[in-house]
Every structure is written in C-alpha cells, then in structure tokens.
Amino acid sequence: MNLDLSNLSDLRRAFHKAPELGFKETGTKAKVASLLREYGLEVHEGVGVVGLLRSGNSNRAIGLRADMDALPIHEASQHSYVSKTPGVMHACGHDGHMTMLLGAAKALALDPRFSGTAVFIFQPNEELGLGAKAMLKEKILERFPIEEIYAIHNLPGAPVGQISTRKGLICSSESLFEISINGQGCHSSMPQTGQDAITIGAEMIQALQTIIARKLSPGAGAVVSVTEFLTDGQRNILPGTAALKGDVRALNSKDRIDIETFIRQISKGIAIAHGVDVNVNFRTEFIETINADVPTEAAIRVAQAVGLDTVPDRTPMNFSEDFAHFATAVPGCFVLLGNGDTGPNGQPLHANNYDFNDALLPLGAEFWTKLVYDRLPM
C-alpha cells in the first residue's frame, strides 16, 4: 500500500494516555469524530460515533467496528504514554482498535478504490457488554443499513500480526447469576432456633459443581463459577441471609439455557430441603458471538492477501464480546490479531502492565482497507 500509515503510533499513544470508562468516553468520542471529519467522512454522533465513507454508485455497504472504552485498572507501566487518569487504563487494546480503524478511514478516504459505503462504527462500553445494544437501540442499522459487519480484537500470546478466526462460534456467552437465600438468623450457640443460610449456601455451591461435571456433556466447554458468598453473619450470629453470586460461560445457547434451568432447580431443591426461601436471578450480558460463513471466508482471504499469517479454524475464545449483538443482527466476522508474546505486548488482556503492540497498527489498517476493497468492489 502506498499510503503512509507510519505515524499511527502517536495517535494510539494519545488514546492510551487519556483512557475513559464505558459510556464516559466523551473525550475519546470527540477525538474520533473530529478525525473522521478531518478525513472527509460524514459523521453521526450518538452513544457512539458512526462515520460514513461513500464511493462509486453501488448501494452496498459494510460495517467495520472498533470499541472505545478502557477499564477500571490502575496502570503499572512506566512508559512515556502511561495513563494520565489514575485507576483507568486501556488494558484491552481498544486504543489500538480505534487507531487501526481510523488509519483505514484515512487511507480509504485518500484512495477510495471501492464502490458502496464503508460504515465505521466506534462503539462505547464493550467491557460491560452494553455499548452495542445501546447503538442498536439508536437504530444505527436501520439508519445506516449494512450487509456485513467485521471487528478485530488483539490477542496477546499469539504471534505478532497473526490473524485467527473461525466459522461459527468464536466467543462464548457470559451470564451473571445471584442466588439469595432467606432463612432465619440466630445466636451461634443455639443453631436449632434458626435457619443458617451459610450451611445451606455451602451445599448449593457444592451442588452447582455438578452442572458442568455431571449434567452437560464432557467437553462442552462451559464454566459455572461462584465468585462471591456474602452473608449477614457475625462472629456469634448465624446468618439468616446469604447471597451467592457468580459467572457462567457457555459455547452455545442450549447449554446456556440448560445451565440457567439447573441453577434454578438445584437452588430451589436445596432451599425446599431446608425450609428456606430462595430467589434466583440470572441474566445474560453477552450472548455467544457467531461468525457467518461468507464474511469469515472474506476475512481469511484478505488476511492472506495482506500477507498475514492466517489461522482459519482457531479454537473458540472463552472470553465474551459485545460484537455478538451486531453479528446477530447482520452476518459478521470477529477476527483476532496476534499482539505478540513478549514484554507488555504478551501480558494477558486486562493485566495492569499490558500494552497494545504498535507494530499492528499499519497491519490492521491495511487489513481493514483491503477488506473494504474486497467486499465493495468497483
């Protein structure tokens, strides 16, 4: 490509220095919108930012998504572009995702060898799984109809610039549950006078382990974790109430629905056995991300054309992605881009010393650009 994408690291580092949490991305959104306008795109601002780049006569359109939010983590790194906001950092590489997509917007505006509309979608609040839904609620797909949608996420631990993806399920769902036990608190010396919520809760925690071990098929790849056990007990008071909170990952919707049913059944059964009330709350924040065949084939073809090492059939990721909501509405493809395995680039996502690899910026921008040329041919 004859476009100069070499100065993208300054932009990435500027985003890195000024991280903002989900739905508070005010400065980030303003910067994204102003750059898109500077490149000549038509810009629409709402909860996120949408940039439209039209070329030729075709009324075909595709969407390219980047996420803008940072995480509530205090950055431990010492580099010159460390977060200026204590307790907030770009620990998931969304600074890099925005920069690659902005680089592509600039490159495509300068060299629009395509026919149709490239729709650049910068979404807020990916981390809590709320941003895509908020943009869909603003009817972006009705206002800016697209035939396909794509997203890139960096992947520490994978070789620099390696593109990996797969048809079908690419990221698991995430659901949260809370089991509230309502018994009777009492003096710890007279347990017979109450209904101790702690022993009942402990029994539930044990029994919940049988969902993965005995109720789903081996190799289902699902996870059920109780992560919090809160009671109103004290040193000499047996608790009357307890709350068990936890997190569920599933690789398909049937397992997710079955897990919810089993959590309700087990909790209710144990509560009945002990004569206490129980209330179960289960909600799915992230649905499974499913890659459609045609966009996935296109992404693999383009990655190969750019000369990137390509893995077309990777194992699904256990993390969850808000992109799932877009990919449910229109055929989509979510690809992972290797961030390297050394130093801060090789630290896990969400680690306080993780850093997006600047070497990916021109590669990602070129991938995006060539994807538009491939999907919206002249």
- Nearer of residues 54 and 65 to Zn ion, judged by Cβ: 65
> Nearest-5° angle of CA 247, CA 19, CA 109?
110
**CA–CA distance from 187 to each of 64, 230, 274 (Å)?**
61, 18, 18
Q: Within positions 77 to 106, which residues make up the interface with Zn ion, using CB under 5 A?
A: 92
**Of residues 92 and 101, the one with the C-beta less far from Zn ion:** 92
Tokens representing 11 are 């932009």
Please identify, using beta-carbon distances, which residue of 285 and 297 lies nearer to Zn ion: 285
User: What's the min distance (Å) between Cβ of 319 and Zn ion?
Assistant: 7
Q: Which residue is nearest to Zn ion (CB)?
A: 92
> 92 or 119, CB closer to Zn ion?
92
Residue 93 Cβ vs Zn ion, minimum distance, rounded to whole Å: 6
How many residues in the chain? 378
Closest distance between Zn ion and the C-beta of residue 70, in Å? 9
Distance CA 75, CA 83 (A): 7
Cβ-contact 19, 96 below 8 angstroms: no
CB 248 within 8 A of CB 178: no
Distance (Å, rounded) from C-alpha 376 to C-alpha 378?
7
- For residue 191 the two structure tokens come to 């347990």
Residue 325 is inside which H or E element, if any?
A: helix 323-329
**Smallest distance from the beta carbon of 269 to Zn ion, in angstroms?**
36
Measured CA to CA, the distance from residue 77 to residue 354 in angstroms comes to: 8
The least distance separating Zn ion from the CB of residue 92, rounded to whole angstroms, comes to 3
Cβ-contact 26, 91 below 8 angstroms: no
Residues 293-352 touching Zn ion, rule: CB under 5 A, are none
| 206-245 residues near Zn ion, rule: CB under 5 A | none
Taking the complex as a whole, how short is the minimal distance between the CB of residue 231 and Zn ion, in angstroms?
Answer: 31
Q: If we measure between CA atoms, which residue out of 151, 42, 148, 62 comes closest to residue 100? A: 151
| CA–CA gap between residue 159 and residue 309 (Å, rounded) | 9
Task: In angstroms, give the least distance from the CB of 355 to Zn ion.
Answer: 14
- The CB-of-153 to Zn ion minimum distance in angstroms stands at 6
Tokens coding 242? 């307890």
Find the shortest distance in angstroms from Cβ 45 to Zn ion. 22
Residue number, 39 or 150, with CB nearest to Zn ion: 150
Comparing CB distances to Zn ion, the nearer of 95 and 196 is 95
25: which 2 tokens?
A: 């991305």
Binding map of Zn ion across residues 257-276, x = CB under 5 A, - = no contact:
--------------------
Site for Zn ion in 135-174 (CB under 5 A): none
Smallest gap from residue 356 Cβ to Zn ion (A):
10
- Distance (Å, rounded) from C-alpha 146 to C-alpha 167? 20
Is 70 a residue that touches Zn ion (CB under 5 A)? Answer: no
Nearer to Zn ion by Cβ, of 92 and 171: the residue is: 92
> Given the complex with Zn ion, which of 39 and 323 has the nearer CB atom?
323
Give the nearer residue to Zn ion in terms of CB position, either 92 or 104: 92
Nearer of residues 92 and 371 to Zn ion, judged by Cβ = 92
321: exposed, middle or buried (Cβ count in 10 Å: 0-12, 13-18, 19+): buried
Please report, as a single letter, which amino acid is at residue 94: H
Amino acid at 252: N
Site size toward Zn ion (CB under 5 A) is 1
- Give the span between the Cα atoms of 297 and 288, in whole angstroms: 20
Nearest to 295 by CA among 153, 147, 132, 101: 147
Contact residues for Zn ion (CB under 5 A)? 92
